[in-house]
Amino acid sequence: MPTKLGEGVLIGDVIHQWTIQEYNQHQRGVRWYIIMITVGMLFIIYGLMFNNFLFSLIIILAGIIMFVQSHQTAPQVLFQITELGIVVGHKFYNYSELKNFFIVYQPPEVKNLFFQTDSSVHPILIVPLLDINPVNVRQTLLEFMEEDLSAEKEPLSVTIARRWRMN
């Protein structure tokens, strides 16, 4: 569980830092909205046909959240790699809370740093590398934690969400 940054939280000296968007901002055209509304309506009808009203309600709420989020500007947050952990916005993750990390660097489409967390609610933390040198970041992180060398690609769920502009 990340610690909320406050006055008494020690994070150590900052080694790397850059600013990232809190979530990905996608340009979605009319065609995307038509497809998603159609799929959403099919899911809602399916839920109603089988008396699964909670499923239908979740689909409606997800649609509302995605619509509202797409019409807002994503806030900028500071990402830092420190001697004691990582900072994402106002949250501090101690290295002991992180299992490992891996980097997927396939420009221009994918340039991300992934952290496996102990949390079952949010098991993967994704940080865009932007124009940061991934070799320097990797060398720094290797001093503090393990790298997952078996992960050569981003997780399938992340790929699907990125391609369908849903993350």
Query: Is 18 in the same domain as 35?
Result: no
d(CA 150, CA 88): 25
Alpha helix stretches (DSSP H) within the chain: 30-49, 53-70, 134-142, 156-163
pLDDT digit string (tens) for 128-158?
999 899 999 999 999 999 999 888 888 887 8
pLDDT for 167:
57
Q: Using the structure block, give the residue that is written with the tokens 């391609």.
A: 163
Query: Is 8 in the same domain as 49?
Result: no
Please state whether beta strands 110-117 and 14-21 pair in parallel, antiparallel, or not at all (unpaired): unpaired
Query: Is 64 in the same domain as 82?
Result: no
Work out how many domains the chain is built from and give that number: 2
pLDDT digit string (tens) for 11-43?
889 999 999 988 777 778 889 889 999 999 999
> 61 lies in which domain range?
30-70
Query: Is 102 in the same domain as 43?
Result: no
d(CA 42, CA 32): 15
Query: Is 131 in the same domain as 111?
Result: yes
Tell me the Cα Rg of the chain. 19
Question: Which of 84, 91, 85 lies closest to 20, judged by CA?
Answer: 91
Query: Is 91 in the same domain as 104?
Result: yes
Could you tell me the pTM of the whole model? 0.77
